[in-house]
Each structure stands twice: as C-alpha cells, then as structure tokens.
Amino acid sequence: MRKPIMAGNWKMFKTEAEAVDFAKKIKPLVADVHDRIIIICPPYPVLSKMCDELCNSNIALGAENLFWEDEGAFTGEVSGPMLKAVGCTYVIIGHSERRQYFGETDETVNKRIKAALKHNLYPIVCVGEKLEERENGSTFNVVETQIKGAFKDISVEQWDNIVIAYEPVWAIGTGKTATPEQAQEVHAFIRKLLPEEVAEGTRILYGGSVKPANVKELMAQPDIDGGLVGGASLKVDSFVELVKY
C-alpha cells in the first residue's frame, strides 16, 4: 500500500509571521492524521522557523528547490546540506515554474535529484505537459522524455522515497483541473516507465488546481497517490480539508 501524500507548495507566498501563524493553527487540526503523509514546502527564508513549529509534529517540511553543489560561489543558490540543517525532509525538483521562468531542464533536474539523494532528502520530481503539447497529442512523449531525463543514471538502490508529481502545466493555478480520467491515464503511463522493482511502491502525486471540491475523485483513481497543491495549500481551512479528504 502506498501511503497517500498531501503536499503544499507555497511558492513565493508568506512572510515569516504568516508562515508561523499558519503552522500554529494547522498543527492541532491534523494531529490525529496518521494514515497519510503531510508535507509543507514554504519559501527558504521561513524554513528554520517552520521547523521550530513542525519538526516534532506529523507535518514534514520540504523546500521548493535545491542546487546540486554542496557549497561554493553560486550566488543565490541553496544546497542540500543547508536544507537538511534547517529540518527539511523533502524537496520539490523541476517544478514547471522553474522550467518556464528559470531555465530548468531535464539535465539540471537530474543533477538536483542526485544532490537530494546524496543528502537523504526525498525529491518530489515534477513533470507535465503544456497546453499546446496536450492539444497536439504529444503529452505522453513529453512526459516520457522528462521522466527518462530526470532519472538518468539513478539506480534502483538509490530509489529511496522518490516521489513524482504529474502536473499538467495548463492546470496549474488556472482553476482547470485535469479530469480524474485524464490524470489517471498519465499516472498509469508514468508508473510503467519506472524501473520494475520500484514502480509499485513509488508515489505519484497529481498537481494542478487540486481543491477540496475535486480531491476525492482524484484520489479515487488507482494510480493517484496524493496531491501537490499550490493555491489551496495557502489557507489553513482548505489545506486541512485536503489532508482529510
């Protein structure tokens, strides 16, 4: 059985005071949830304070990115050891906004995954097609290329707690969710692309306008193992509803 994951991707939202307020409010509301994994991925500047609030709770902390070197002259970057030191367990890698605005490629995604694994951070690796790619019928090609590129030279022995998030770009922040059938089709396809030894145990999350109104039908799909949630993870009420879907 794959324990479901509900992960909040806060993107570039919340100051320290806002983040701490959120953490204090949500902790007691989900304290009784043990049959699923809850993750919050806030911006870097609030990670340390969020760990003070959450690291002894059933809510895990994740970062939104990491650089592949451990240290060095890389202005503006943050490394695996730094994320470990502030209490991160997970790290999002290759989000479509990183690919679209910051030049992330399958090759850099692969380097970041290797860096995360080296430092025992569990990667949440994002893939997904753009609207024109869905419309011209290349969804499966695009996703296959992204998966093969991301996991190049990563062996089954290293495949510890890798999480994949299928996020159709046209569904992110748009209010348009993929139908459960559309999502399931791609999730099943992704699972077939994974090494046989790890395919059944790997969690594949869906992301793209997940909200309380659609979470149940998405989670009812056999290959959807959780959600990577942007907008609806920013409010305590809606994130609690998602966690307790």
> Active-site residues: which are they?
95, 167
Least separation in angstroms between CB 172 and ligand PGA? 4
Which member of 82, 113, 231, 245 binds ligand PGA (CB under 6 A)? 231
Q: Residue 152 or residue 186: which is nearer to ligand PGA going by CB?
A: 186
Among residues 59 and 95, whose Cβ is nearest to ligand PGA? 95
The length of the chain in residues reads: 245
Please check whether residue 89 is in contact with residue 122, taking contact to mean a CB–CB distance below 8 angstroms: yes
Query: Which is nearer to ligand PGA, 36 or 152 (by Cβ)?
Result: 36
| Torsion of Cα atoms, 131 then 135 then 136 then 142, to 10° | 50
Residue 40's alpha-carbon distances to 2, 97, 137, 240, in angstroms, are 19, 18, 34, 12
Contact 80, 49 (CB under 8 A): no
Q: Does 4 bind ligand PGA (CB under 6 A)?
A: no
Residue, CB closest to ligand PGA:
230
Min separation Cβ 181 and ligand PGA, Å:
19
Q: What are phi and psi of 152, to 5 degrees?
A: -60, 130
Binding mask 190-229 for ligand PGA (x = CB under 6 A): -----------------xxxx-----------------xx
- Cβ neighbourhood burial of 20 (10 Å; 0-12, 13-18, 19+): middle
- Which positions from 143 through 182 interact with ligand PGA, judged by CB under 6 A? 167, 172-173
Q: Give the list of residues 6+ apart from residue 237 with CB closer than 8 angstroms, or none.
A: none
| Footprint on this chain of ligand PGA (rule: CB under 6 A) | 9, 167, 172-173, 207-210, 228-232
